[in-house]
Structure 1
């Protein structure tokens, strides 16, 4: 089963089978030895034969009795030695047989354990579906299947609620924004009205950004990616850098661009674009003034990767590990930078998981953060075809 301490029950069963066999074999051997250990009795009876031959006959009978006793003792020793050898051989065979039988008995449990380990929040629809007689093992598997079914229903209901709530909240937000625009558009509005309108519009934009994050997070966690097409991580990274170049320049950030165009994967263009945008946005917003950003894309031995490194203070890895949770930020404060929803890296984690990839967040020893995304590679589209990001391959 691949972990320390695995196979303990199988070893226990094997030892139990072997001990039972050795115990019964030892008892059987002892009974055989006891039952075969009787003495040869003197079969001579009645009156001794007449004449002078009586003494010779008696001596002859004693000699025969002694010889028979010696032969019997020798046979008993040979039987005991042969029985001990057979017992040792059968002990080894019992260990082997016990291991085989224990492995066969525990095989359904190993299959259940292996299948359960492969089930996560992204594939709760999978079931163990153990076939066989209605015994304790099948009852256990059916119980686990029932638990997975309830968990799946709970996750689906939660994601559906988040999506529906975000959609429903967009309508009153649009109404509030329209009312605000009407108030500002009146002739000669009061200065206080303009100041208040600016603040309200900023808060409405932030709330709208938060709802958009909820929708993307719900879609990524739901795992329904019907629009899978080849996507270039390099093209997405350059588009994200170009879109945020003004913000990077405002903080005097230097950008080391090591983007390669042959880093192709297959997935949802919209979600993958949002993933790269969030990573780049996080690298700019949470960077230090005059810091640097290093972006690398390309294929490797296991797939294609996107690596974004930023400068900054030395971070605690335990806090960094929690950044993929919604609304988690470094430090104790609940409010982040202006425009930050607290969902950026949690959306990234959900999108990476929906595409079967891996996300790693590492606090750099020299300060700052290293974000690594590894995705499944895909073949580049044919030359001259339009990519989902709007470019044309040549």
Structure 2
């Protein structure tokens, strides 16, 4: 359109110059002789008058040409803008569709494709290339999840065999050397740690694969209470004070019973394991947003001062913040990463914040179920409405 405008302007300038050039004519006439001075003078006056009229007519015509050309140029500019906008919209529409579809596709929906139709042009080739890339990514993700799940299952067999061997060695008749008993206890503790790690990998693979087979309506506060009750001995052993705030009775969510219970267990375990002796733990359930369309489980704990720039890394697998965050070094580094994966799988968000005076605040926000659903009494062990 810009080139068309420049060429039209140049054409208009050339037309104006050509039109004005014709008015520059000679104003002199040859002398017809001296024999008839009166007649010659009258003829010359008549010629001058005609030339003046011709010049005026030529100037008028030139102005009309310039004005007409300017109007035509303006009309063509408007038409060109309209046509350019229409053609650009038609050409860029598939690109907008591709952009929206690509933004919509995530790691949990790699099975979707752009599926752009139309003639085999460059845009169609680009869409087909992106679809092929999504297919390869989907295969890679599936292979990774399948490998983790299969490897975790296959490793359980030798773990079971090793436990059985320890039991047989300790159950032999006769006195068992103290060193053997100590070694067996240490080996059993390590085997338990490996078993917990494999279980965490299984949960992580299952969550990333979106396998929710036990969905139900759950009381978020009750899940937190169950997690605290099950760890009462650990809390007492460390001398921790628990502050509870579960007054929001509308904090019901819909999701996997097993996985959401694992979320509550992991955040409470994290608050206990990485706390100071004699510290405190705060558990609160609250509504989020003006329309209370979401509810949050907030678990805060005391502890050492953490670097906020590194706290976000705790949601990644096998990420720790040094020895002070691993305690005895027995942590697998998967606790909060499992929480993040399960929360994302339930269309929620996980927010990790370092407290200014030490410790960590974990906020898990999930969509709230319809509060008008039948309010059945929850199971005190699971928090499930039945």
2:325 & 2:265 partners in 1: Cα distance? 23
**What's the counterpart of residue 7 of structure 1?**
none
Contact 1:122 1:353 in 2 (8 A): no
Aligned counterpart in structure 1 of residue 137 of structure 2, from 135, 151, 159: 151
Match of 1:36 in 2: 19
Q: Mark the CA change 1:36 to 1:264 in structure 2 (over 3 Å): closer, same or farther.
A: same
TM, length-normalised to structure 2: 0.87
- Distance (Å, rounded) in 2 between the aligned partners of 1:194 and 1:312: 36
SS in 2 for 1:130: coil
Corresponding position of 1:320 = 311
Kept after mapping to 2: 8 A contact 1:230/1:379: no
1:205 aligns with 2:159: no
1:246 to 206, 210, 233: 233
CA RMSD of aligned residues (A): 3.0
- Superposed CA offset, 1:66-87 (max 9, x none): 1121221133234324534654
CA positional deviation for 1:204? 1.0
2:92 corresponds in structure 1 to 106
Paired residues of 1:127 and 1:148 also in contact (CA < 8 A): yes
Q: Which range is displaced more, 235-244 or 323-332? A: 323-332
The answer on whether the counterparts of 1:269 and 1:389 sit within 8 Å (CA) in structure 2 is no
Larger deviation, residues 343-352 vs 379-388: 379-388
Alpha-carbon deviation of 1:25?
1.0
Tell me if structure 1 keeps the 8 A contact 2:297–2:363. yes
Contact 1:303 1:374 in 2 (8 A): yes
- How much has 1:366 moved relative to structure 2? 2.1
Mapping of residues 173-212 of structure 1, within 5 Å: 173-187=159-173, 188-212=175-199
Unaligned runs of 5+ in 1: 1-16
Contact 1:269 1:388 in 2 (8 A): no
Structure 2 residue aligned with 1:382: 374
The two structures have a TM-score, normalised by structure 1, of 0.86
Matched, 1:27 2:14: no
In the TM superposition, residue 300 of structure 1 has moved relative to its aligned partner by 1.9
User: Displacement of 1:378 after TM fit?
Assistant: 0.9
Contact residue 152 and residue 199 of structure 2 kept, 8 A: yes
Deviation at 1:27, TM superposition (A): 2.2
Check conservation: 1:306, 1:374, Cα contact below 8 A: yes
2-side partners of 1:350 and 1:76: how far apart? 78
Query: SS where residue 375 of structure 1 aligns?
Result: strand
Give yes or no for contact 2:311–2:354 (8 Å, CA) kept in 1.
Answer: yes
Correspondence 1:273 to 2:261: yes
Which residue of the other structure, out of 320, 334, 358, is the alignment partner of 1:367? 358
* Count of matched residue pairs: 376
Deviations for 1:212-257, whole angstroms, at most 9, x for unmatched residues? 1111011001112233221111111110011112111111111111
- Per-residue CA deviations over 1:178-227 (Å, capped at 9, x if unaligned) read 12112212233222221111111111111111111111011001112233
